[in-house]
Amino acid sequence: MNATTTAAPHPVSRVLTFIRFSHTVFALPFALGSMLVAAHGRPGWRTFGLILLCMVFARTAAMAFNRLADWEIDKRNPRTAGRHRLVSYPVGVVLLVGSAVAFVATTYFINGLCFALSPVALLIVFFYSLTKRFTDYTQLFLGLALSVSPVGAWLAVQGRFAWPPLILAGAVLLWVAGFDLIYATMDHDFDRAAGLRSLVVRHGIPGSLRIARGLHALALFGLAAFGVASGLGPVYGVGLLLMLGAFVYEHRSVAGPAPLDVGVVNNAFFNANAFVGLVFVAIVWVDRLHR
């Protein structure tokens, strides 16, 4: 009798799945775009490398904290029940502590302001994971967590605050909150039964999708304001039209009756928002390249 065996996933593959490394495409482009504007298109390899390391370490720490904080909750949710099997709880703790320490250590080599603010950044990205226990505005706190990235990248280059990264942070907050509202519709029934809180639980699926459309409209306005504040040219305007198209595609894809199909939500969520991030960094890079 022939037996078919399936090889166990490689440990590195399990870790990358555990922290959803593929979702780095959401925050990273906005950090890189902010970096390019702050550096007038020429950040230097050292600065680029340090910012990239900070992004990887901070996001790994945030996702590890999220998985540990929701360990028991995820076990009960059919959509997330397999997460705790990817790595053990002690390995998750090692990932959390190691990446958090590495993030703080990396900021030391950037500048004094980034190093001083690094614990604050970690507190912001960790705090989101606790919010579903006491507030309906969990999606806005996730947006706040990801909005730290363009501000941090700007500070890494210039060492001071300015309006363009703050405007971009606001746009990122709205964008992330909007797409997480769509993503969270998949957990509507479980979250309500488990006593967890979110805007989806509060407003239901149809109401949440309407709010998400409004948030994405405001996010696009914020991205346009960032372009004006940064002195970006016509290429950036063309990119905004492409991002508008991605938002329209995303919202049309999930416009069906509730409950939404998981596969449809996942495709719309990942494809549209990855496209938005990649278009953003590409148009900023092209604009700065021709200056």
Neighbours of 88 (CB within 10 A): 10
pLDDT for residue 27:
86
Q: What is the mean pLDDT of residues 141-167?
A: 97
Residue 85 confidence (pLDDT): 78
In the DSSP assignment, the letter for residue 84 is G
pLDDT in the model for residue 82:
81
**Amino acid 7: pLDDT:** 54
Residue 262's pLDDT is 67
123-135 mean pLDDT: 96
CATH of region 11-289, choose from 1.20.58.1290, 1.10.10.10, 3.50.50.60, 1.10.357.140: 1.10.357.140
Q: Tell me, what's the pLDDT at 1? A: 42
Residues 169, 153 contacting (CB under 8 angstroms): no
When pLDDT is averaged across residues 98-126 and rounded to a whole number, the result is: 98
Q: Is the pLDDT of residue 12 over 90?
A: no
pLDDT digits (tens, 9 = 90+) for 21-77: 666 777 899 999 999 999 998 899 999 999 999 999 999 999 999 999 999 999 999
Stretch 188-206: mean pLDDT: 94
Contact between 164 and 226 (Cβ < 8 Å): yes
- Which residue type is seen at 11? P
Quick one: average pLDDT of 267-286?
90
Give yes or no for a contact between 128 and 100, defined as CB atoms under 8 angstroms apart: no
- Sort 89 into a burial class: Cβ within 10 Å, 0-12 / 13-18 / 19+: exposed
> Alpha-carbon distance 197 to 207, whole Å?
15
- pTM of this prediction exceeds 0.95: no
Share of the chain above pLDDT 70, in %: 92
| Cβ 84 vs Cβ 71: under 8 Å | yes
Phi and psi based region of residue 254 (left: phi greater than 0; alpha: psi -120 to 50; beta: remaining): alpha
CB 284 within 8 A of CB 232: yes
> pLDDT band for position 192 (50/70/90)?
very high
- What's the confidence (pLDDT) of residue 38? 97
Task: Compute the distance between CA of residue 167 and CA of residue 37 in angstroms, rounded to an integer.
Answer: 13
- pLDDT at position 280 over 90: yes
Task: Read off the pLDDT band of 3 (50, 70, 90).
Answer: very low
